[in-house]
């Protein structure tokens, strides 16, 4: 009797461990590009993932347990609009930087709380949303009016 129970437990364990692999296979993939954030303190290069499709924008940085200090995600909405986000399934604190069509920062929300369903809404219409590690805005001295350089905004620096 001990063997069948052990075998069943092993089969159950294998089935459960395989489920997350299948779920991960369904996650969106992202291309990576370079942006430069320009503040009074200087110019800072970041390698960011691009979220441009509905699947990518819906997933964003969900389920990530860490993000490199010079990494992030850039969501392109195409045209300036009110943007609302929440931190559903986001496991790390993030700074949300809303960017106008000209690349200028129009609104910032620092250290958004992981897993919060509270809406975070841009105070001004924005073309894009840049998500970076919580504390990045303070570290760079980023403020409204500073510039994010990328081809989306027609102000890229170097090759993007």
CATH of the domain at 130: 2.60.120.1140
Show pLDDT as tens, one digit a residue, over the chain (160 residues).
444 444 443 333 333 334 344 444 478 899 999 999 999 999 999 999 999 999 999 999 999 999 999 999 999 999 999 999 999 999 999 999 999 999 999 999 999 999 999 999 999 999 999 999 999 999 999 999 999 999 999 999 875 4
Q: What does pTM read for this prediction?
A: 0.82
pLDDT for 27: 84
Answer whether 100's CB lies under 8 Å from 152's CB. Answer: no
2 part of a folded domain: no
Strands, E assignment, 15-145: 32-39, 42-51, 71-81, 84-85, 94-99, 105-112, 120-121, 126-133
User: Would residue 125 count as lying in a domain?
Assistant: yes
Residue 37: closest CA among 124, 120, 107, 99: 99
Contact 100, 124 (CB under 8 A): yes
Look at residue 23 and tell me if it is in a domain: no
Instruction: Give a yes or no: residue 9 inside a domain.
Output: no
Q: How many domains does the chain have?
A: 1
Domain annotation covers residue 159? no
In this structure, what DSSP letter does residue 3 have? H
Q: Give domain status of residue 59, yes or no.
A: yes
**The predicted structure's pLDDT at residue 6:** 44
Structure token digits, residue 15: 């089935």
Which are the contacts of 150, defined by CB distance < 8 A and separation ≥ 6?
33, 34, 35, 36, 74, 103, 156, 160
Does residue 22 fall inside a structural domain? no
Query: Does 114 reside within a domain?
Result: yes
Domain ranges, residue 114: 28-153
């Amino acid at each position: 009797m001990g063997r069948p129970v052990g075998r069943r437990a092993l089969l159950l364990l294998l089935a459960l461990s395989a489920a997350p692999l299948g779920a991960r296979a369904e996650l969106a993939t992202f291309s990576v590009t370079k942006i430069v954030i320009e503040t009074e303190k200087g110019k800072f290069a970041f390698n960011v993932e691009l979220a441009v499709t509905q699947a990518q924008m819906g997933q964003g940085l969900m389920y990530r347990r860490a993000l490199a200090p010079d990494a992030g995600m850039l969501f392109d909405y195409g045209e300036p609009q009110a943007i609302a986000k929440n931190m559903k399934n986001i496991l790390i604190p993030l700074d949300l930087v809303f960017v106008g069509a000209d690349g200028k920062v129009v609104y910032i929300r620092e250290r958004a709380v992981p897993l919060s369903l509270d809406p975070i809404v841009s105070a001004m219409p924005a073309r894009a949303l840049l998500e970076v590690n919580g504390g990045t805005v303070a570290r760079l001295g980023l403020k409204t009016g500073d510039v994010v350089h990328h081809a989306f905004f027609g102000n890229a620096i170097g090759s993007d």
